[in-house]
Chain A
């Protein structure tokens, strides 16, 4: 059974601080995706990483896929209150298409 361990589960920081969220597994994934979910809404895709060692940047967000494609990280620079939300990593590669394995999520709160 493939599992994605996401940490930390909760994170409360002040505006302007940096943070990193980690997503780790013992399994290899063909791709790994990061989503952000607001309360009462579906997840919205932020980025997909496919190649081992890949780094993608989305404004103040930096996503990295591990060389072995087993882990990933999300780094936010100078966090803003608008970054508050639930961040989910999801790995694909567990057999049938669409069988995304989701991490438990990181609930981020950025205080002004």
Chain B
């Protein structure tokens, strides 16, 4: 149980375009999901907390207008990278807290390459 599905696994886009990444909790409801970014050979950095039915909470230094987060249902959160640039190329990972337990279930990640 407690599976988080992330899609797509990888995407290549042109500079200036927007990319949407989906994160779904398959067998549980997640009122809160989290978006992380991981650069090569570095650890995960929390970007924002996605709250169902309300605005996301962004970490310091993360542009909310560039990284749009929508959490319209209890099982789906989306991250849209707008006007992507090569420096946005990274590994984006979502997670959700597992019900009645500690620890978090992570999606399989999305490798974004902006060319």
Chain A residues within CB distance 8 Å of chain B: 31, 33, 35, 40-45, 48, 50, 88, 90, 92, 96-100, 102-105
- On whether A43 and B44 interact (CB within 8 A), knowing A96-B49, A98-B32, A98-B49, the answer reads yes
**Could you tell me if B6 and A42 are in contact, using CB atoms closer than 8 angstroms?**
yes
- Complex contact A50–B102 (CB within 8 A): yes
A108 to B74, CA, bound (A): 37
Q: Beyond A42-B107, A43-B106: 4 further Cβ-contacts under 8 Å?
A: A40-B109, A43-B93, A45-B105, A102-B44
Q: Which of B32, B45, B95, B97 contacts A42 (CB 8 A)?
A: B95
Q: Which residues of A have CB within 8 Å of B107?
A: 42
Is residue B108 contacting chain A, with contact meaning CB distance below 8 A?
yes
**Complex alpha-carbon distance, A50 and B111, angstroms:** 32
Nearest CB in chain B to that of A43: its residue: B106
Contacts A42-B93, A98-B32, A98-B95; A31 near B111 (Cβ below 8 A):
no
B contacts, CB < 8 Å to A: 4, 6, 9, 32, 34, 42-46, 49, 57, 91, 93, 95, 97, 101-109, 111
List, in ascending order, chain B residues with CB within 8 A of A105's CB: 43
Main secondary structure of the interface of B (DSSP, over half): strand
Across the interface, A88 reaches (CB within 8 A) one of B44, B49, B111, namely: B44
Q: Please, could you name 28 A-B residue pairs with CB atoms under 8 Å apart, sorted by A? A: A33-B102, A40-B111, A41-B108, A41-B109, A42-B93, A42-B95, A42-B106, A42-B107, A42-B109, A43-B44, A44-B106, A45-B104, A48-B101, A48-B102, A48-B103, A88-B43, A96-B49, A97-B32, A97-B97, A98-B32, A98-B46, A98-B97, A98-B104, A100-B34, A100-B44, A100-B46, A102-B43, A104-B42
A98-B43 contact, Cβ under 8 Å, with A40-B109, A42-B107: no
Q: How far is the CA of A98 from the CA of B44 in the complex (A)?
A: 13
